[in-house]
Copies of this chain bind each other. A is one copy, B any other.
Amino acid sequence: MKDIQSQPDSRRINIKKVGVKDISYPITVLDKAKTVQHTVARVNMYVNLPHQFKGTHMSRFVEILNQFHGSINLQSFHSVLDAMKNRLQAEEAHMEIEFPFFLKQNDCSPAMAGISEYSCKMHGSLDKIDDLILTVQVPISSPSAIQNNEGLPKSLGRWGTAEVSLRLSHFIWIEDLIQTVENITCHDRTWHDEMDSEIEHDSLSVEDMTKQLSKKIASHPHISWFSVTVENFSKNYSTFATLEWPESGTSHRHWPTEQQ
């Protein structure tokens, strides 16, 4: 690979992202039931770096994180991003956090007393306007027609996952989003009763479950964009389907109604 152009001047080029990643950090999340839930997040924080700036002070990212220690949540995201933008003199600021969120005993897993874990992500951006995408991954069990000797359905394994990402115009509880998804995906509750119906068998395909979930989420008034991915585990690989709405490149529009 030889240089055949005149020497480029990298001083005039923008650094698109500069920051810190994979910080493990204890955080608290507001929680419908318990007010405050303690968990551990993996955090990425970065800004753009206009070409006239020579470097950035990496330690400032963690200093900002420390200032908000104990109160990272949907509400405080804007304040953290604002502090990043100001202290680092950046045009854009980004923060991504990923954490396990726990729900006490829900109807969807009656076989085992205990708490369920959901992987959550928040990706916030601030340039001129705020943007926040919330992602929740909901595990899906294999449907079970078999009961163990305590009268509870036996585990037939992991069917897959449903991952929903949203842009919100109003606050929404993570618990409510999980319940919306589990109303569709929860085999033990929904599918089990109707195991013989033609419709229910159909709903086992990733395409159909993606569409059912999308239809449900599109009907929510406070969601301006979403993406749904349903993944079905086979022994050695997965099958999956993804639906995004409105599709990128198209203007915001109504989900087609049956009347149309």
Q: Which A residues are closer than 8 A to B by beta carbons? A: 1-26, 37-40, 46, 49, 54-59, 62-63, 65-66, 100, 102, 109, 111-117, 139-143, 146, 148-150, 152, 154-160, 176-177, 179-180, 201, 204-208, 210-212, 214-216, 218-221, 229, 231-245, 247, 254-260
Contact A14 B159 (CB under 8 A): no
How many Å from the CB of A249 to the closest CB on chain B?
11
8 Å CB contact of A232 from B140, B155, B240 = B155
| With known contacts A21-B240, A254-B5, A40–B155 Cβ distance under 8 A | no
8 Å CB contact of A10 from B11, B38, B40, B215 = B215
Contact A237 B111 (CB under 8 A): no
8 Å CB contact of A201 from B63, B146, B235, B237 = B146
Nearest B residue (CB) for A117: B24
Chain B residues lying within 8 Å of A235, measured Cβ to Cβ, are 109, 116, 139-141, 155, 158
Chain B residues lying within 8 Å of A6, measured Cβ to Cβ, are 257-259
| With known contacts A23-B236, A113-B66, A219-B4, A256–B139 Cβ distance under 8 A | no
Contact A113 B258 (CB under 8 A): no
A118 to B40, CA, bound (A): 13
Contact B109 A207 (CB under 8 A): no
Nearest B residue (CB) for A63: B113
Contact B240 A10 (CB under 8 A): no
Contact A18 B241 (CB under 8 A): yes
How many Å from the CB of A212 to the closest CB on chain B?
7
Please give me the 9 A-B residue pairs with the lowest Cβ-Cβ distance, nearest first: A38-B38, A8-B255, A157-B159, A10-B211, A12-B256, A62-B114, A17-B242, A142-B157, A23-B237
| With known contacts A8-B257, A22-B238, A244–B16 Cβ distance under 8 A | yes
A214 to B17, CA, bound (A): 14
